[in-house]
A and B are shown apart, each in its own frame.
Chain A
Amino acid sequence: MSCAIEVRDLGYRYGEGTQALQGVSFAIAVGECVGLIGPNGAGKSTLLLHLNGLLPETGKGEGAVRVGGTPVRTDTLHEVRRKVGLLFQDPNDQLFCPTVFEDVAFGPRQFGLSETEVRERVQQSLAKTGLSGFETRAPHHLSVGEKRRVCLAGVLACDPAILVLDEPTSSLDPKGRRELKELLRQIRITKLIATHDLELVVELCSRVIVLDGGAVVAEGPTVDLLSDEALMLRHSLERPHILRHLHPH
């Protein structure tokens, strides 16, 4: 089994002393779609930032993170960030350019593609996310759902091998959520989704990792873990309704 993401004994403490992660280990195979669940403050976002080497002490802390076989270190950051596309929780943080086109083109331009290639990439990702014709729109004139899709287009334009998503369905309306879910289903690369939307996990992910108090407390096939009511309640989660219909015990 070749690993897309491999995390071994990862620990992290924030500057002010909060121990955000400790002894976190897991592996994700190429092509897998894995859900990362757990209560608020469990360390999900911190863990995701590690996969892109975005915390200041990258490579100096305890443990190791490897993506696609490359260790995340100060000297490999650009390679790592090219491999891993990260969708942030707040679309406003991710949309920092004055127009949709500029924003989606940001990644490809950083990788030094020619202007025609950049244009092509942007058109492709906008078409993929159903946003053709949005090129000249300004981010502050878009709805939350549209913003989220532009963010995704910006990430896809970088052509990542691994997609890492932080709360992709938060504050979306049911239609926006459904559209995003279908989009994610069509993107056939390795995915790691951190979310509280457990129905989404059931629908998209074959496996889940439960994180609580900065440590991995459970890991296994989605249906098995999410049907375990005691486990779910212990970690501030719950058995999603969709599973009640699937397994009427």
Chain B
Amino acid sequence: MRHDFLDRYSRLHSPIHRLPAVLKLAAALAVVLTVVLLPPSRVVLLGAVSASLLAIAWLSRIPWRFLVRRVILLEPFVLGAAMLALFQPGGWRLFLFLVAKCTLCLLGMVLLSNTTTFSDLLRLLKAARVPALLVTTLSLMYRYLFVLVDETQRMKRARLSRTFTPQRTWAWHTMATVVSQLFIRTSERAERIYAAMCARGWR
């Protein structure tokens, strides 16, 4: 089964996709830093950053619907954090400003992950001397996320094919079973992967 829910558009062809990965990573980090450090009075600058991100999004040919949906998916976390601002005097303004800031950061990251392949990002991290263990962990995580989703789907299908009467208590019960099964299977797989790594000289 094919999975690309994480970075569906990272292999498109566009002027943005063709840019060197190092440039895109640097730009994304610069956007995040600028936006985070911006004081609430500099609304114009915030507008400028959003305009340039939108221009990049347009140039990258990633469908708008996908970008909007992806940002909305992540928005609950932003709202949760921004809510705290409402408890201060004049909180509304701060609230909106925080939401705008975080949304821009998210958009920047969504754009980065959909215009640069994950293996390119990993290569950059390695070149930037991020500890090898961390890079390996990230690369394994990216790889096995898809395997795990596959396995969950297969288990779900197998369960559904033998579910005849929908019952709430049972649903919770089977849910718990599925989660524990996944946990066991994952740790068993981890052992097999480690064996496979050792077999090819990992030390």
With a 10 A CB-CB cut-off, give which of A49, A81, A93, A111 has the most chain B CB atoms: A93
Contacting residue for A54 out of B122, B147, B195, CB 8 A: B195
Bound-complex Cα distance A114 to B84 (A): 54
Does A76 touch B at the CB level, under 8 Å?
A: no
- The size bracket of the interface on B is 20 to 34
Inter-subunit contact B202/A110 (CB<8 Å) = yes
Residue of B nearest to A51 (CB): B199
Interface size on A, residues (CB 8 A): 33
Bound-complex Cα distance A178 to B199 (A): 26
Residue of A nearest to B147 (CB): A92
Inter-subunit contact A49/B195 (CB<8 Å) = yes
Bound-complex Cα distance A184 to B144 (A): 28
Residue of A nearest to B200 (CB): A107
Does B97 touch A at the CB level, under 8 Å?
A: no
Bound-complex Cα distance A98 to B135 (A): 11
Inter-subunit contact A140/B198 (CB<8 Å) = no
Within 8 A of B (CB), among A112-143: 136, 138-141
Does B130 touch A at the CB level, under 8 Å?
A: no
The prevalent SS among residues of B at the interface is helix
Residue of B nearest to A100 (CB): B119
Residue of A nearest to B195 (CB): A54
Contacting residue for A90 out of B2, B122, B192, B200, CB 8 A: B192
Contacting residue for B143 out of A82, A97, A110, CB 8 A: A97
Q: Nearest chain B CB to A5's CB is how many angstroms away?
A: 15
Inter-subunit contact B189/A78 (CB<8 Å) = no
With a 10 A CB-CB cut-off, give which of B143, B144, B192, B200 has the most chain A CB atoms: B200
Contacting residue for B201 out of A78, A96, A138, CB 8 A: A78
Q: Nearest chain A CB to B148's CB is how many angstroms away?
A: 10
Inter-subunit contact B146/A102 (CB<8 Å) = no
Within 8 A of B (CB), among A52-98: 52, 54, 77-78, 81-82, 84-86, 88, 90, 92-98
Q: Nearest chain A CB to B9's CB is how many angstroms away?
A: 14
- A110-B203 contact given A97-B139, A98-B142, CB 8 Å threshold: yes
Does A99 touch B at the CB level, under 8 Å?
A: yes
Inter-subunit contact A140/B3 (CB<8 Å) = yes
Residues of A within 8 A of B118 (CB): 98
Does B74 touch A at the CB level, under 8 Å?
A: no
Bound-complex Cα distance A111 to B203 (A): 10
Does A12 touch B at the CB level, under 8 Å?
A: no
Identify 6 residue pairs between A and B in the complex whose beta-carbon atoms are under 8 Å apart, listed by A's number: A86-B196, A88-B196, A107-B200, A140-B2, A140-B3, A158-B201
Using CB atoms and an 8 Å cutoff, list the residues of chain A in contact with chain B.
Answer: 49, 52, 54, 77-78, 81-82, 84-86, 88, 90, 92-99, 102, 106-107, 110-111, 136, 138-141, 154-155, 158
